[in-house]
């Protein structure tokens, strides 16, 4: 078994997700199934293969340093769950 229920709980916590015991059990099984399948890749010798970050090799999609108009604030703030005085407002967080 590659993944235990502890791993599922840990990843769920990192992702701020809450699951029932039943769901955790199911995800453990599902993830093991997926990882076992992907394990096949370990049979390939990748000694001299460079890391690939995508299916296609694309380089240098770059932009010139030219200022563009920003968006209208009201329209942007409509995407936030709450806003006040031009700020996005969220439940209080303290470091």
Partner 1 sequence: MEFEAIIGLEVHAELSTKTKIYCGCTTEFGGEQNTHCCPVCMGLPGALPVLNKEVVTYAMKAGLALNCEINKETYMARKNYFYPDCPKNYQITQDETPLCKNGYIEITTEEGTKKIGIQRIHIEEDAGKALHREDGTYVDFNRSGVPLIEIVSKPDMRTAQEAKMYLENLKAILQYTEVSDCKMEEGSLRCDANVSVRPKGSTEFGVKTEIKNMNSFKAVEKAIEYEIKRQIEAINRGEKIVQETRRWDEAKGETVVMRSKEEAHDYRYFPEPDMVYLVVDDEWINNVKSTLPELPDKKRARYISEYGLPEYDASILTSSKALAAFFEDTVKEGASPKDASNWIMGEVLRTLNDREMSIEDIKVQPKHLSKLIELINNGTITGTIAKKVFKDMFETGDDPEKIVNEKGMVQISDENAIRDIVNKVLDENPQSVEDFKNGKTKAMGFVVGQVMKASKGKANPQLVNKLVEEELQKR
Residues that bind partner 1 (CB under 8 A): 10, 13-14, 16, 51, 53-54, 57-68, 70-71, 73, 76-77, 79, 82, 84-95
Asked whether 83 and 89 are in contact (CB, 8 A), the reply is yes
Q: Helix 21-38 vs helix 5-14: angle between axes, to the nearest 10 degrees?
A: 100
Nearest to partner 1 of 33, 87 (CB atom) = 87
Q: Cβ closer to partner 1: 14 or 44?
A: 14
Beta carbon nearer to partner 1, 22 or 71: 71
We find the least distance from the C-beta atom of residue 79 to partner 1, in angstroms, to be: 6
**Whose CA is closest to 24, among 3, 11, 5, 4?**
5
Radius of gyration of the chain (CA): 22
- Smallest gap from Cβ 46 to partner 1, in A, equals 15
Task: Tell me how far apart the alpha carbons of residues 35 and 11 are, in angstroms, rounded to a whole number.
Answer: 15
Question: Please, what is the minimum distance in Å from the beta carbon of residue 9 to partner 1?
Answer: 11
C-alpha of 34 from chain center = 17
Least spacing, CB of residue 56 vs partner 1, in Å: 9
């Amino acid at each position: 078994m590659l993944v235990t229920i502890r791993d599922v709980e840990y990843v769920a916590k990192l992702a701020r997700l809450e699951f029932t015991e039943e769901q955790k059990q199911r995800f453990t099984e599902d993830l093991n199934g997926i990882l076992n399948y992907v394990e096949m890749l370990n049979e390939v010798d990748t000694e001299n293969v460079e890391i690939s970050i995508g299916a296609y090799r694309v380089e240098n999609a770059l932009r010139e340093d030219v200022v563009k108009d920003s968006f209208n604030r009201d329209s942007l703030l409509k995407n936030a769950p709450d806003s006040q005085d031009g700020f996005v407002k969220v439940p209080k967080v303290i470091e």
